[in-house]
A and B are shown apart, each in its own frame.
Chain A
Amino acid sequence: MKGLNLALGAAGLAAFLLLGEAVPRLGLVKEAYFPPTSRIAGALGDELADSAFWTALGDTLTGWAVGLAVAACAGVVAGVVISVVPYLREATASTIEFLRPIPSVALIPLAVLLYGTELRSVLLLVVYASFWQILIQTLYGVQDVDPVAEETARSYGLGTWARIRYVLWPTALPYVMTGLRLAAAVALILTITAELVIGAPGLGARIAVAQTSQAVPDMYALVVVTGVLGLLINVGARSVERRALAWHQSVRGEVAV
């Protein structure tokens, strides 16, 4: 069954690539706008051989990783503090609901003025955008704590820190992991966006350069690279999630029996 699905998926992918080859060759769209798959693949090969490409990839990954790490730490700490301190949750709810939907790209002009094309202007956008994903998930997760477990821990005289460590954190972890997975995708989008629009060094800036210099196959090749990067980050985040929560399922299983 799984083998069949895999084969069908591969067939779908092959058909997609073939379509990409055939449509421009048959003249359905202009080759200048949409080069056939083989030419994109060729351009991709050239890119991979170019050391500037790897520098750009490194820049993009640095922006992504640093931004995500800062947002994750800040989001988790803020989420736990907000939920542990009495009344803080009610007091912050309206502000969080207001700030969260503000599109992070609105900050682009400010980032440009403050930091120009430095890494810091990428980080400003990435951290702002991914912070909310993690904060909200952490808040949901802490809310999910079983009141009986919480009361039990309290009556056994566990201090605040111990309760956070042994009661609150294990319950919240699955939610935090979901937040981290969402934030990883958002962080990549914002990293590339910042590079594309602001011109901070990285894959996005390379795409912008390829576009203005009419290097169409290169532009497509770079777009494919960003897609593969997104895919890898997605798969990676899922496997981290599964590994970090391996104990969780087993704990759940024991309780259910």
Chain B
Amino acid sequence: MRRFLLRLVFVLTLPVVLLAVWWAASDSSTDVYWPPLRTILKTFPDVWTADRLRTDALPSILRLSAGYATAAVAGVALGTVIGSYRRVRAVCEPVLEFLRAVPPPVLVPVIMLFAGIGHTMKILVIAIGCVWPILLNTVEGVRAVDSVMAETARSYGVKGFARLRHVVLPSASPQIFAGLRQALSIGIILMVISEMFAASNGLGFTVVQFQRGFAIPDMWTGILVLGLLGFLLSVVFQLVERRVLGWYHGLRATTRRSR
């Protein structure tokens, strides 16, 4: 119990101190750009009503999930194919390295040409920007499958889909998750930027709108919402990762024990 309390103190002290400092330092602020934290928090519930969450936050999150899911499926599938064949890998590698090196935000103007400024454009931008880290990490993971495991599976005649399902993907999954984590932060960046460029709704659009209208406290609440969204998504990601990879580590642990 004491240890738990101590941990709680450690977890909470600094955030509380920082918030208090922000509150106190900005309390009598008359600077237009740095409104008092009091004002920002008071504006928050007025701005982010359930209605606005539905019209702005929800579309953003849906587009992000659609793009991210597409990237995940395409990246893992292509990465598995490329990683499994040495020749294919040698042919594709320089091109892939180049495509990954292109900073993803420049995709926004390019894809606007093809897909206009609707949902498709935003989902495409997110998908194409997120796919590279997932793809390249999958290639690395698939390539680095433990050779003893691969040989054992071969000698037991585990082939095709079963081999993929039980040998290749599980052993590549830690790498794949590293790629998925990188892709998540790129995805959020692209979600916001694609909405700042051309949109009629979404979080990025709203925040820029507040900024242009000099509704500064409202803009600050928008920044806070984006921050909270980033934080929540990373928590969700960690939970999923712990579940998926926990199963993997658990399997490894039991095989080791039964050996």
- B239 within 8 Å of A by Cβ? no
Q: Which of B199-213 contact A (CB under 8 A)?
A: 204, 207-208, 210-211
Question: Which chain A residues lie closer than 8 Å to B106 at the CB level?
Answer: 192, 196, 204, 207, 222-223, 226
Cβ contact of B97, chosen from A193, A219, A223, A231, cutoff 8 A: A231
Whether B185 pairs with A103 at a CB distance below 8 angstroms is yes
Whether B192 pairs with A103 at a CB distance below 8 angstroms is yes
* Bound-complex Cα distance A90 to B220 (A): 29
Chain A residue nearest in CB terms to B229 = A103
- Secondary structure at the A interface, as helix, strand, loop or mixed, is helix
- B110 within 8 Å of A by Cβ? yes
B131 CB to nearest A CB, Å: 15
- B1 within 8 Å of A by Cβ? no
Given A13-B95, A193-B193, A231-B97: A188 touches B103 (CB 8 Å cut-off): yes
Q: Which of B1-49 contact A (CB under 8 A)?
A: 7, 10-15, 18, 33
Q: Which of B153-190 contact A (CB under 8 A)?
A: 185-186, 188-189
- Secondary structure at the B interface, as helix, strand, loop or mixed, is helix
- B234 within 8 Å of A by Cβ? yes
* Bound-complex Cα distance A112 to B210 (A): 12
- A10 within 8 Å of B by Cβ? yes
How many A residues have CB within 8 A of the partner chain? 59
Centre residue among A13, A92, A106, A110 by max chain B CB count within 10 A: A106
- A62 within 8 Å of B by Cβ? no
- A251 within 8 Å of B by Cβ? no
* Bound-complex Cα distance A211 to B113 (A): 9
Question: Which chain B residues lie closer than 8 Å to A107 at the CB level?
Answer: 223
Cβ contact of B105, chosen from A103, A192, A216, cutoff 8 A: A192
Question: Which chain A residues lie closer than 8 Å to B76 at the CB level?
Answer: none
A182 CB to nearest B CB, Å: 9
Closest 7 CB pairs of A and B: A230-B101, A109-B211, A106-B226, A12-B91, A8-B90, A101-B234, A227-B102
